[in-house]
Every structure is written in C-alpha cells, then in structure tokens.
C-alpha cells in the first residue's frame, strides 16, 4: 500500500534542513516524493493516510550492535555466584543464559527485540547472536521474527571455541548456510575465545562471501592480557594479521582498551567501530574514547535495550568526561549506521524508512539548534508512527503487523522457562 504523510515538517537526516511538505511513498518504490497537491493521492484506493500536522518526520534509526538473544534477561534473578569481574559476568550470566536458549526462546527474544526497536524508531538492527546448544537454523529464526515485525537486519552467529570444536564447527556451518541466502556478517565472540584455526576459518568465510567480521574488541583488559599471553600480540594486531580488518563491512564493537598503534591500524583500515556506552557502564569495563580512532564510529546498545535515542544521550553525557564528543559528533555517530549500510550496499535502509515524531518543545526548533533538541529533548516517547521499507509498522504507538500483547504474554512464559532452566 502507498502511504501519504500529509502536512509534515520534514527534517532531512543529512542536511538537517526543515521543510513543510507532504511526503508520498509509492508502493514498491524505495524513495520518497514531496507532492504539492495530494487530493488525487488521498482519493486513490490503496493509499494509507497519516496526518502529520504539527509533527516532525525524519529518517528512522538503526542499532549498530545488538544482542536479541539477551532480551529475556530483563528482571532475571542474580546468578548463582556473584560475578567479580568481566570474565565472570560472561561466565555466570551470559554464557549460562545462552546455553539454555532453545528455538522458541530465540524466536521470542527476537520478536520482542524487534518490537522494542520499532517502538523506539529503529527499522534496522545489526545483531550478534549466540545459542550454543541451538545453533542450527537460529539465524533464520531471528530473520523471520524480525521480518514479521518489519525490522530489517544484518545478522551473524557468534563463532567461538568456548564450548569446544563440535560447537565451533556448528557455528561455522550455520554462518555458511545463512550467508548463502541472506545478507549477513561472520560473527566472532572475541579474540580471547577464538583460536588461530578458527580465525582462519572465519577469514575464509568472510572472503568467500565478500562479507565482514562482527566481533567484540578489547571490551575489557582481559581480552588484551589473554591475547598477549597466548599469542604474543595485541588484539588488533592479531585480527589484522588474519586479514579480518580489510573489509569495510567489518564491525569492531567496543574498542576500549587499545593502544595508539592499534588505533592507527583501525583508523587506516576500512572497518567500523561500534560504541556501546551504557553496556560499558553496566559492566564497569571502562570508557570509550574516540581520540585517534578516525570517524568511522557508530552507536549500538549491546543488547541492553533497543533505544538509539537513549544510547546517543549516554554517548554524549558520558563522553563529556571521557571522550572528545559534542552535539554534532553525537548525531553523526547516531546516523553513521546508514553510511555503513549504504557504503556496503546492504538492503533495507532506503529513504522510505521514516519515523514520525509527535514532539512539541517550549523553545524554537530549526536546523541551527536541532542537535540541542536531539540531545536534551527528543526521546522515544515522541515516536508516534514508524515506516519501514514503505510499510507502516507502528501507527499511533501501536504495532501494526503483529499482536504485541500476545507476543509479550508468550514471551513471559518463555522467559520463565529460561530462568528455571538456568537454575538447574
């Protein structure tokens, strides 16, 4: 169905130019038009009308690093042993959780994540999945769940050696079979859980499918210490020596504990860095500092939530003490996911992805002060409607393609099953 957004204030996501326009999205076209006259469009059968009087319309958002698999952890009890450090957080929380995931839990984790993305204005998610005892077909389950809600995606399975060779092989096979039919990345957990054979196998897959790697890098000093001890080199050197940093599709998540030489390598590579401020605070692993890292930086949530407006505010506020970041750079990092997706010709993020903001402000708003409104004013409560790939997926704050209440009810049941299984 074609869509007419009538009488909107459109904010161009690149130039921040404001214009009072009607926006028409013709069915089947990955573009937007700005017709002066709309009567003929309103009367045309099959045109959905959104009255945007007094509302802002701009391009929808995207999550640069997500973990749908962690969605059912919200409100979960403490682990059997209280984690004392980053490694123990992985061991007692996330590696305990992901081992218990079955196919239905994966499906509902993905459905509720996609709904959360949509309601927070994101129509694209780059996800990093792990379910070591339910690997086969897991990416297809997530893809179908995201599709059902209307969220475009770039998925990968987290390959690692932590569960032994059998599961490593399954993860490689899952990646290979998924990449044959879908756009995606080659996922690796982190340098410290991936041995040299596995790095080589991942590089082979990356090259064969003309893809990139999606990996956690130096999230905690543990990653560097382990790498130096076992391989005699630092993490970025190790990844670079394996040829993993030559792809512009490669995503390096975190990059907190890297030295100046490693920053040089990243800055001179075509890779992208993904900053996840709130997750770093939550795990008490340190603070992101972009100095000398270059400008290929985007933002993610690391599975903590799906709200990129919130992540942008965190990047800005925490960055006041630890990073050289201002309003302009915050917005740039928030929007860089589109540049990454365009540059690499991934599909699902064309201009017919829009968000409608029911945002009124006590102060004047225009191109010149938009960044300040973005940091201090606009939040996901203002999102009234979302259009993904030319389809309305959120209308008046309600999901359109799926029954949210039914999914949340079922997901509570699966969360309860997961929590019980984790206690066994």
Closest to Zn ion by CB, 303 or 390: 303
CB of 410 to Zn ion, least distance (A): 26
CA 75/CA 143 separation, integer angstroms: 25
CA 372/CA 365 separation, integer angstroms: 9
307 binds Zn ion (CB under 5 A): no
CB of 253 to Zn ion, least distance (A): 5
CB of 216 to Zn ion, least distance (A): 5
| Number of alpha carbons in the 13 Å side-chain half-sphere of residue 135 | 21
| Residue 56 DSSP SS3 | strand
302 binds Zn ion (CB under 5 A): yes
CA 201/CA 170 separation, integer angstroms: 12
Of the ranges 164-172, 185-193, 294-302, 364-372, which one interacts with Zn ion (CB under 5 A)?
A: 294-302
CA 10/CA 354 separation, integer angstroms: 10
Tracing tokens 């997530």 back to the chain, one arrives at 142
Of the ranges 72-80, 146-154, 161-169, 302-310, which one interacts with Zn ion (CB under 5 A)?
A: 302-310
What does the buried/exposed string (b/e) look like for 276-314 if buried means 16 or more CB atoms within 10 Å of the residue's CB? bbbbbeebebbebbbeebeebbbbbbbbbbbbbbbbbbb
Closest to Zn ion by CB, 220 or 302: 302
Closest to Zn ion by CB, 254 or 335: 254
CB of 396 to Zn ion, least distance (A): 33
Of the ranges 54-62, 183-191, 298-306, 402-410, which one interacts with Zn ion (CB under 5 A)?
A: 298-306
345 backbone dihedrals φ, ψ, rounded to 5°: 55, 35
CB of 402 to Zn ion, least distance (A): 26
Q: Which two tokens stand for residue 23?
A: 């926006």
CB of 303 to Zn ion, least distance (A): 6
Q: Which two tokens stand for residue 177?
A: 């079979």
Interface with Zn ion (CB under 5 A), residue total 1
Closest to Zn ion by CB, 128 or 238: 128
CB of 224 to Zn ion, least distance (A): 17
Question: Distance of CA 43 to CAs 3, 28, 47, 51, Å?
Answer: 12, 19, 8, 14
CA 389/CA 26 separation, integer angstroms: 11
Of the ranges 48-56, 86-94, 175-183, 297-305, which one interacts with Zn ion (CB under 5 A)?
A: 297-305
What does the buried/exposed string (b/e) look like for 13-25 if buried means 16 or more CB atoms within 10 Å of the residue's CB? beebebeebbbbb
Closest to Zn ion by CB, 8 or 275: 275
CA 267/CA 27 separation, integer angstroms: 41
CB of 65 to Zn ion, least distance (A): 6
| Residue closest to Zn ion, measured at CB | 302
Closest to Zn ion by CB, 278 or 302: 302
Per-residue binding string, Zn ion, 310-339, x by CB under 5 A, is ------------------------------
Per-residue binding string, Zn ion, 247-286, x by CB under 5 A, is ----------------------------------------
Closest to Zn ion by CB, 68 or 415: 68
What contacts 320, CB < 8 A, 6 or more positions away?
Answer: none
Residues numbered 109-168 forming contacts with Zn ion, rule: CB under 5 A: none
State CA 237 to chain mean position distance: 26
Closest to Zn ion by CB, 32 or 186: 186
Closest to Zn ion by CB, 67 or 371: 67
220 binds Zn ion (CB under 5 A): no
H-helix or E-strand spanning residue 424? none
Where on the phi/psi map is residue 396: left (φ > 0), alpha (ψ -120 to 50), or beta?
A: left
Closest to Zn ion by CB, 13 or 124: 124
Binding site for Zn ion (CB under 5 A): 302
């Amino acid at each position: 169905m074609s869509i007419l957004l009538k009488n909107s204030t459109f904010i161009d996501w690149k130039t921040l130019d404001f214009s009072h326009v009607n926006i028409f999205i013709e069915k089947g076209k990955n573009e937007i038009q700005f017709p002066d006259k709309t009567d003929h469009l309103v009367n045309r059968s099959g045109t959905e009308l959104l009255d945007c009087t007094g509302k802002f319309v701009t391009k929808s958002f995207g999550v640069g690093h997500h973990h749908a698999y962690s969605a059912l952890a919200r409100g979960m009890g403490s682990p059997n042993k209280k984690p004392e450090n980053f490694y123990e957080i992985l061991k007692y929380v996330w590696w305990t959780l992901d081992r218990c995931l079955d196919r239905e839990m994966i499906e509902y984790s993905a459905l509720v994540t996609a709904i959360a993305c949509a309601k927070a204005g994101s129509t694209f998610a780059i996800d990093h999945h792990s379910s070591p005892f339910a690997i086969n077909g897991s990416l297809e389950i997530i893809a179908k769940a995201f599709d059902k809600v209307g969220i475009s995606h770039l998925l990968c399975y987290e390959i690692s050696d932590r569960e032994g060779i059998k599961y490593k092989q399954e993860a490689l096979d899952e990646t290979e079979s998924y990449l044959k039919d879908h756009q995606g990345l080659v996922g690796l957990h982190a340098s410290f859980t991936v041995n040299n054979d596995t790095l080589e196998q991942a590089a082979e897959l990356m090259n064969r499918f003309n893809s990139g790697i999606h990996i956690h890098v130096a999230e905690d000093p543990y990653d560097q210490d382990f790498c130096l001890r076992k391989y005699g080199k630092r993490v970025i050197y190790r990844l670079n020596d394996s040829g993993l940093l030559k792809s512009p599709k490669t995503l390096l998540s975190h990059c907190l504990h890297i030295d100046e030489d490693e920053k040089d390598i990243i800055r001179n590579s075509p890779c992208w860095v993904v900053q996840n401020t709130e997750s770093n605070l939550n795990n008490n692993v340190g603070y992101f500092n972009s100095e000398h890292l270059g400008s290929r930086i985007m933002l993610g949530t690391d599975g903590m939530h799906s709200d990129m407006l919130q992540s942008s505010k965190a990047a800005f506020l925490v960055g006041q003490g630890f990073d050289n970041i201002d309003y302009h750079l915050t917005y740039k990092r928030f929007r860089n996911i589109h540049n990454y997706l365009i540059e690499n010709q991934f599909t699902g993020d064309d201009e017919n992805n829009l968000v409608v903001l029911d945002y009124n402000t006590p102060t004047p708003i225009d191109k010149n002060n938009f960044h300040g409104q973005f940091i201090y004013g606009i939040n996901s409560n203002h999102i009234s409607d979302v259009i993904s790939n030319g389809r309305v997926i959120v209308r008046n704050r309600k999901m359109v393609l799926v029954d949210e209440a039914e999914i949340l009810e079922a997901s509570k049941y699966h969360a309860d099953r997961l929590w019980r299984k984790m206690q066994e």
